[in-house]
Amino acid sequence: MTPFPISEATPIRHPGPPPAACDVVILGGGVAGVMTAYFLVERGVKVTLCEKGRIAGEQSSRNWGWIRQQGRHPAELPIMVEANRLWQSLAQTMPGLGFRQDGVLYLAQRESEMAAYEDWMIHARTHGLDSRIIGAEGVKARLAGAKAGWVGGLLTPSDARAEPWVAVPLLAQAAVQRGAVLVEQCAVRRLDIAAGRVVGVITEQGRIACDQVLVAGGAWSSLFLRAHGISIPQLSVLSSVAATTPMPEVFAGNASDNDFAFRRRQDGGYSLAPGYTHDFFIGPDAFRNLPVYLRTLKQDWRATKFHALAPRHFPDAWGTARHWSGDEISPFERQRVLNPAPNMKALTKVQDAFAAAFPQTGRPVLSHAWGGMIDTMPDVIPVIDRDGSLPGLTVATGLSGHGFGIGPAFGRILADLMTERPTGHDLHPFRLSRFSDGSVIAPTGAL
- pLDDT in the model for residue 296: 81
Is position 249 within any domain? yes
The answer to whether the pTM exceeds 0.85 is: yes
Cβ atoms of 232 and 395 within 8 Å: the answer is yes
Of the candidates 82, 55, 8, the residue with the CA atom closest to the CA atom of residue 338: 8
- pLDDT in the model for residue 299: 74
How far is it, in rounded angstroms, from Cα 387 to Cα 234?
Answer: 16
Range 128-141 average pLDDT: 97
Is position 193 within any domain? yes
Is position 274 within any domain? yes
Range 172-182 average pLDDT: 98
Tens-place pLDDT, residues 351-400: 999 999 999 999 999 999 999 999 999 999 999 999 999 999 999 999 99
Is position 19 within any domain? no
Range 144-149 average pLDDT: 89
Range 441-445 average pLDDT: 89
Range 255-272 average pLDDT: 96
State residue 352 phi and psi, 5-degree precision.
Answer: -65, -45
How far is it, in rounded angstroms, from Cα 116 to Cα 85?
Answer: 26
Banded pLDDT at 294 (limits 50, 70, 90):
confident
- pLDDT in the model for residue 3: 62
- pLDDT in the model for residue 317: 97
Cβ atoms of 224 and 27 within 8 Å: the answer is yes
Q: Which amino acid is at 240?
A: S
Output the domain CATH number for residue 224. 3.50.50.60
> What's the Rg (C-alpha) of the chain?
21
pLDDT surpassing 70 at residue 334: yes
- pLDDT in the model for residue 36: 98
- Classify 278 as helix, strand or coil: strand
- Classify 428 as helix, strand or coil: helix
- pLDDT in the model for residue 281: 95
Average pLDDT, the chain: 96
State residue 306 phi and psi, 5-degree precision.
Answer: -95, 140
Is position 16 within any domain? no
Range 54-58 average pLDDT: 98
pLDDT surpassing 80 at residue 148: no
Give the residues across from 254 on adjacent strands. 104, 263
Is position 8 within any domain? no
- pLDDT in the model for residue 301: 67
Under 8 Å CB-to-CB from 193, ≥6 apart: which residues? 199, 228, 390
How far is it, in rounded angstroms, from Cα 252 to Cα 102?
Answer: 6
- pLDDT in the model for residue 277: 86
How far is it, in rounded angstroms, from Cα 441 to Cα 380?
Answer: 9
pLDDT surpassing 60 at residue 2: no
Tens-place pLDDT, residues 201-250: 999 999 999 999 999 999 999 999 999 999 999 999 999 999 999 999 99
Q: Which amino acid is at 195?
A: A
Domain count within the chain: 1
How far is it, in rounded angstroms, from Cα 253 to Cα 265?
Answer: 9
- pLDDT in the model for residue 1: 47
Banded pLDDT at 252 (limits 50, 70, 90):
very high
Of the candidates 235, 238, 270, the residue with the CA atom closest to the CA atom of residue 342: 238
Is position 238 within any domain? yes
The residue segments making up the domain with residue 79 are 24-435
pLDDT surpassing 80 at residue 152: yes
Range 283-300 average pLDDT: 87
Q: Buried b vs exposed e over 412-440: b needs ≥16 C-beta within 10 Å?
A: bbbbbbbeeeeeebebebbbbebbeeeee
Is position 167 within any domain? yes
Cβ atoms of 223 and 262 within 8 Å: the answer is no
Banded pLDDT at 46 (limits 50, 70, 90):
very high
Cβ atoms of 119 and 27 within 8 Å: the answer is no
